[in-house]
Structure 1
Amino acid sequence: MKTIKWMLLIYGFLWVLGFPVNAQETPAKEEIFSEVDEMPEYKGGQEALFQFVKDNIVYPEEAKKNGVQGKVFVSFVIDEFGAVTESRIARGVNPDLDKEALRVVKQMAEWNPGKKEGKPVKVSMTLPIMFALDENKQKKPNE
């Protein structure tokens, strides 16, 4: 009986040693892809995305007053759940226009996530947002 207890104790000890314990270990950062089998899609498609931007963009008054125009490129990640994360200006034009473009991108609804080998993954995207003033409104009546 004493031998069985010792054997159980030794097996139990060896069993516990079989599990690695590392409190300092941090999970590996998930990979963010730029190309996948199925790219993320804004719910409703590209037309819905353009309509969302058009409906929500507000041309900053200061930029309008100074005649500032241009294309702002906003980079972001669509995560495996379809949420917009890690938004940032990839190429800006003017602080006011950049801030507005970033604000609109952060407001976007969830997307259909991208997929690689049939599994949802994080995908990096870039959206160009064009700020253009109506030239006819900018000219004075006598010009």
Structure 2
Amino acid sequence: MPSFQKKDFNSGSSGIVDYVQCNIRYQPDFPEGRVFVTFTIDTAGLVQKPIIVKGLSPAADAEVIRVIKAMDGFTPGMSGGRPVAIPYTLPITFKKPKPSTP
């Protein structure tokens, strides 16, 4: 079975989700909910074809695509000693930040 790893993402998918959620620029008009994004890590370790499978709003969807496209440095998946492309689908949760208390 093919596998890959991302430098800095030691926990696999959950590490990638954490990275995306930490790098999203939340806007006050983003609704709460989930965006599902699919993409492929190609044989060179680059993110290709990010597509929103289930969106939330045009602005939130665009922000997820922006962050996914900014990821790089993957070690490509390997199968039988050869690099292979690996598809991924991730859920990204949008929650409004809690107001800070004085």
TM-score (norm 2): 0.81
Question: Structure 1 regions of 5+ residues with no counterpart?
Answer: 1-36, 138-143
Out of 25, 39, 44, the position equivalent to 1:58 is 25
Displacement of 1:50 = 4.2
C-alpha separation in 1, matches of 2:50 and 2:18: 20
What is the match of residue 117 of structure 1? 80
Identical positions, percent: 34
Name the count of aligned residue pairs.
96
Structure richer in strand, relative to its length: 2
Deviation sequence 1:37-85 (CA, Å, 0-9, x none): 232222122365344323311112322xxxx111111111100110001
**Do the aligned residues in 2 keep the contact of 1:60 with 1:100 (CA within 8 Å)?**
no
C-alpha separation in 1, matches of 2:92 and 2:15: 15
Question: Structure 2 regions of 5+ residues with no counterpart?
Answer: none
Structure richer in helix, relative to its length: 1
Q: With CA pairs under 8 Å and 6+ residues apart, which has the higher RCO, 1 or 2?
A: 2
Amino acid at match of 1:38: P
What is the match of residue 4 of structure 2? 40
**Do the aligned residues in 1 keep the contact of 2:2 with 2:84 (CA within 8 Å)?**
no
RMSD after superposition = 1.8
What is the match of residue 83 of structure 1? 46
C-alpha separation in 2, matches of 1:76 and 1:82: 12
TM-score (norm 1): 0.60
What is the match of residue 14 of structure 1? none
